[in-house]
Structure 1
Amino acid sequence: MTVASLLMRADPERETEMNADMIARWFVRLVGLSLVVASLGMWVAPNAATLPELMMIKLCASFFFALTGGYLLYFARTPKSSRG
């Protein structure tokens, strides 16, 4: 038996084919995760200036990135109708 034949027999109702909706959800998840990581990575960047004005900009930018990334990750969940 090949792996392909085992996969075809596994569950015919839950076919996982790549459609535009799935690709869009994965892309939104990737962008959301990138924004969350960027919001954290902004604070560990070496040689960052510690001027008070720049720290406020950095704080606002990291808050915006984290909030936007979290919303994108939340809205890119798999819909309940297609969950197993």
Structure 2
Amino acid sequence: MSRRDRGSTGPGGRIAALLDVGDHRGAALEARRVLGDPDASEVARRTAGDALASFRPDPAALAVGAAGVLVAVALTLWTVLGAG
């Protein structure tokens, strides 16, 4: 994609286009670039901030995953140490 093509979709449109094709790394880089651009509009900054926020994992999902790992470790230790 040429530089002229990138500018024609706008920063928010470019981020959305990258997300649509599954390029999350590219979308995150573009969002960080927009947030660092002093000439970016407020709409573009809001879109970039929303895109970056969407990449953060849900805290509840992290808690449930950590609890699952603890249960698995506990069951494994109980099975291994209890068999003796």
When the two structures are superposed, what TM-score results if normalisation uses the length of structure 2?
A: 0.30
Give the number of the structure with larger relative contact order, counting CA–CA contacts within 8 Å between residues 6 or more apart. Answer: 1
When the two structures are superposed, what TM-score results if normalisation uses the length of structure 1?
A: 0.30
Q: Which structure has the bigger radius of gyration?
A: 2
